[in-house]
Amino acid sequence: QNIAKVLDAGATEAGRPFFVMELVHGVPITTFCEKNRCSVRQRLELFIPVCQAIQHAHQKGIIHRDIKPTNVLVTIYDDKPVPKVIDFGIAKAVDQRLTERTLFTQYGTIVGTLEYMPPEQAELNAFGVDTRSDVYSLGALLYELLTGTPPLDRSSVRDMAWQEVLKKIQEEEPLRPSLRLSSSASLPQFAEMCHTTPAALPQMISRELDWIVMKCLEKNRTRRYETANGLVRDLERYLADEPVEACPPTFTYRLQKFVQKHRRLLATATSFLILLVVATCVSSFAAFSAFQSKRQLQTSLNSERQAHQAAIEARQRADETIASLRAAVAITDEGYERFRRRNWSEAHAKFTEAIEVQPDLNTSYIQRGNLFVSLGLWDRAAEDFRQRFQASPRADSQTLFGHALLQFYSGDELAYQAACSLLADQYAESAEIRDQQAVLRAQLLGQKPLGDPAEIAQQAEELAAIAKTPWLEGLVGRAQLKAGNFESAERHCREAIQLAKGAPSGVGRVAYPNLASALFQLGKKTEAAAALLKATDAREQWLTSMLANEPGDLELPSLTWSIWLEFEIHLREAITFIEGKQPAEDEQVANLYQHGLAGLKDDNVYSVLHLGQQHIKRRDWDAAAAEFVKILDGLPEGFRGNSREMRLCIEMVHNSELFDRVVQLRPADYRPWRARGRYFASRRSWSEAIAAYEKTLLLLGEPTQERGPFGGRAEMLNELASILLLAGDVKSYQEYRDQVADTHSATSFPESASLFSRMLTLRPLESSHPMVPLELAERSVAQQRNAWHYWTLGIAQHRAGNNSEALKSLNQSLNSWSDWPGRAQTHLGLALTCHQLGRHQDANAWLRKAQAAQRELDRSIADTDYGYATSNFLCDWLATLVLLEEVTATLNHNQVPQPKK
């Protein structure tokens, strides 16, 4: 009844579609309301059939795409106004053709009327147009019925360029109808037309009608009414004085609506209640006054006692903190005095004692780190520098460069990138040449610079133009080499060597590795070999001199420890590039490490490790196992994946002969098996990994507390679950999953709850405990709101079928930490959720983002010695592989991958 009849339809011989529709003798709905001076209620009652007509068209698979007053005509039937929707000329079929011929739509064409156009229709492709686009246009029409003007004021866009108008539609939020009315110069005339006053009309439209209209006009279509019927229901609720869905259903709002609907009954009841309360108050006032006075006196005394006790305790805590800081500073000063007197072992003991007394004292870490640097114990120095900068990021540029250098040399890529970020944040804009030089040197340590190579080369050239020194010329040569400008790199390296003539020997020699690489790139292989030989000869001479000195005397004239390490990094890179293989382990470098340990006089784990590695080279497995068992006995019970303890355990297990002898000597120790499981998992050797994980759980026994070694059984079970699915053993996965749901559903630790929830939601399989994963995830988020726990909650909500909430949680995960290394899982969760919501293009986009994020993490992990085996992201990587199988199969074939036979 409310849609003009289509009498005929088809297409011309040229392919242009046409429709023959019923001629409606009517006027636009806004004109009708103005001429007939319709009230707000009458306007809403006239608008509701329009929404119902659009809903009818949607049910037939048609989107109108051009709803506006001139396409909604009001005619009179039987003395009653009847609105009719006309002009389906640019309508769009949802799942079928409008005519027997194919309609031709040119890319880049905008259809519709600007004042009523939804944001997605204002895009050049308009692929996102759906039934919610018509809901937006209905909201714009309702806006004009309530205010007299459309949301997009015609006068504001009259002089705008086309692209600016489209951008305004897509981005600018319209004023609420009540605010538009309040600021309108035509309010008195419009209010009179609606049979009310200028003061009352905005009040009448505020709140419910504001909410309804603005919900229709949401830029994000997922926040609009899903259907035109949803809009109709809310308008009918408003007209019936019932709560509408377009606003938060607060208790106050529901109470207001209840009072509005039952005001007479409530007025009577309130009168009786007031009489009762007054009578009760009068009778109780005297007794209450006496009781209150006594209670206030007692409360005041108790508060005074509590405040006094709290002040005493706070003073005691402050005194204890100050005392421990003073003691730690005094001990650190004693250590520095021993360091200055070259008493390395006592200095080390003092620095360590200071750290134990006050772990937050940064000075102790940096002093002990400098001690390790002096002795050439680079890995231990890197660990102390990392601890120092985790507590406080501020330092001079040279100390920060040393921090970046140590992290890169020790192989911790993430710590190196963090150090470079600290250095750039503090000194990239500095006017000092030495500060800018430190920033560029740090960015150029790796095979691929941290930043744009051309931009870095330009910055280096600008520095060298200010002061022409061997160091800056060498820096420009390195930067040009990384930017691919090999001729420029050769020229600057030779200039550095030339400028260094007559200076101490170390100044010029550090340019030779980069000169060799540049020459090799230019095809000058003979000259490259000669330059590389000069670099290796210099290295040999420096190592010989260092070993000839006393421990702690590593630095030579014009060769500080940082220049030595930087030179060593560049030389290893040049050898690898020119010779096509990693340089062999240098015995003198190992001797230099032992030289430093001898100066420390510390029979520590590293000296034992080195001795065990020497036995391995001689294939003396029993002697090697005996040394490694000493290391194992000295390790703590629990340690993380990227810890030095885990690396030491991996050293024991990646060689099968050594592993067999270690477990023979320590058959009840689960830690070698745990490391072996991680090692084989990182190599995708699933069957060997499963055997090692199950042996670990067997040796570990039943947990005595939720958080045990390596983060407890939760992390191990999660990793094992992923490995079982990757190996195709779905039955074993289901058994472990049911066991976890039965025994760990009440866990209180947020990390454990999150891990168990993730394990239970790895695949959408039938479960006897369907709500346990969601309960665990909600518990973890309630205690710790971070990217990891929000991801867990999102995938649990998706598995439970609550995809709208899943979308919010997964987006919150990305918002909490956009650069989270494990974010590929979040992207995959969003892909699954969008697929379930019918947003297939978004689902494919999230899949591509997940693949890119995982490749980025793979590249950073690939540079470490044992890959994911010694990474904190093994669990995330395994879960990503499982989800990637599911998402790829779902998007390509709309089905979950079947278990492998």
433-463: per-residue pLDDT in tens?
A: 889 999 999 999 988 898 899 999 999 999 8
660-706: per-residue pLDDT in tens?
A: 888 888 888 888 888 888 888 888 999 999 999 999 888 887 654 44
101 contact partners, CB below 8 Å, separation of at least 6: 10, 11, 15, 17
Asked if pLDDT for residue 415 goes beyond 70, the answer is: yes
Tell me the two tokens of residue 243.
């709560």
- 724 band by pLDDT with thresholds 50, 70 and 90: very high
**Mean per-residue pLDDT, 798-817:** 88
162-177: per-residue pLDDT in tens?
A: 888 888 888 888 999 9
130-139: per-residue pLDDT in tens?
A: 899 999 999 9
Options 1.10.510.10, 1.20.1540.10, 3.90.79.10, 3.30.360.10; which CATH number does 25-94+108-240 get? 1.10.510.10
Q: Using CA atoms, how far apart are residues 763 and 734, in angstroms rounded to an integer?
A: 10
Q: Which of 43-52, 323-332, 809-818, 825-834 is predicted least confidently?
A: 323-332
pLDDT given for residue 138 in this prediction = 96
Of residues 861 and 530, more confidently modeled: 530
pLDDT given for residue 750 in this prediction = 81
pTM: 0.40
Domain ranges of the chain: 25-94+108-240
**Mean per-residue pLDDT, 773-782:** 89
Q: Which residue has the tokens 């084989």?
A: 680
Specify the pairing of strand 92-93 against strand 6-11. Answer: unpaired
User: Do 58 and 228 touch, CB atoms closer than 8 A?
Assistant: yes
Tell me the two tokens of residue 372.
């390790």
Asked if pLDDT for residue 504 goes beyond 70, the answer is: no
Mean pLDDT, the chain, whole residue set: 82
Highest mean pLDDT: which range of 88-97, 223-232, 241-250? 223-232
486 contact partners, CB below 8 Å, separation of at least 6: 480, 518, 521, 522
SS3 category, 861: helix
748-771: per-residue pLDDT in tens?
A: 788 888 888 888 999 886 776 778
User: Do 54 and 138 touch, CB atoms closer than 8 A?
Assistant: yes
Tell me the two tokens of residue 11.
């297409």
- 806 band by pLDDT with thresholds 50, 70 and 90: very high
74-123: per-residue pLDDT in tens?
A: 999 888 999 999 987 676 655 443 333 333 333 345 677 888 999 988 88
DSSP 744: S
Quickly count: other Cβ atoms within 10 Å of residue 825's Cβ: 28
Q: Which residue has the tokens 């095979």?
A: 447
pLDDT given for residue 486 in this prediction = 93
User: Do 871 and 641 touch, CB atoms closer than 8 A?
Assistant: yes
pLDDT given for residue 709 in this prediction = 35
pLDDT given for residue 286 in this prediction = 63
359 contact partners, CB below 8 Å, separation of at least 6: none
pLDDT given for residue 896 in this prediction = 45
Of residues 569 and 711, more confidently modeled: 569
Give whole-number Cα distances, 273 to 106, 266, 269, 351, 554, in Å. Answer: 71, 10, 6, 75, 91
Highest mean pLDDT: which range of 288-302, 454-468, 625-639, 702-716? 454-468
Asked if pLDDT for residue 205 goes beyond 70, the answer is: yes
pLDDT given for residue 58 in this prediction = 92
Percent residues over pLDDT 70 in the chain: 85
727-741: per-residue pLDDT in tens?
A: 999 999 998 888 888
pLDDT given for residue 707 in this prediction = 40
The DSSP-derived string for 638-673 is: ---TTSHHHHHHHHHHSSHHHHHHHHHHSTT--HHH
Q: Using CA atoms, how far apart are residues 633 and 681, in angstroms rounded to an integer?
A: 25
Q: Using CA atoms, how far apart are residues 793 and 776, in angstroms rounded to an integer?
A: 8
Helices (H) and strands (E) in the chain, counts: 41, 7
pLDDT given for residue 104 in this prediction = 34
- 640 band by pLDDT with thresholds 50, 70 and 90: low
**Mean per-residue pLDDT, 647-657:** 76
The DSSP-derived string for 320-365 is: HHHHHHHHHHHHHHHHHHHHHTT-HHHHHHHHHHHHHH-TT-HHHH
Q: Using CA atoms, how far apart are residues 482 and 104, in angstroms rounded to an integer?
A: 51
Q: Using CA atoms, how far apart are residues 113 and 177, in angstroms rounded to an integer?
A: 20
User: Do 557 and 506 touch, CB atoms closer than 8 A?
Assistant: yes
pLDDT given for residue 529 in this prediction = 92
Tell me the two tokens of residue 612.
């065990």
877-889: per-residue pLDDT in tens?
A: 899 999 999 999 9
- 321 band by pLDDT with thresholds 50, 70 and 90: low
Return the bridge partners of 73, or none.
Answer: 28, 84
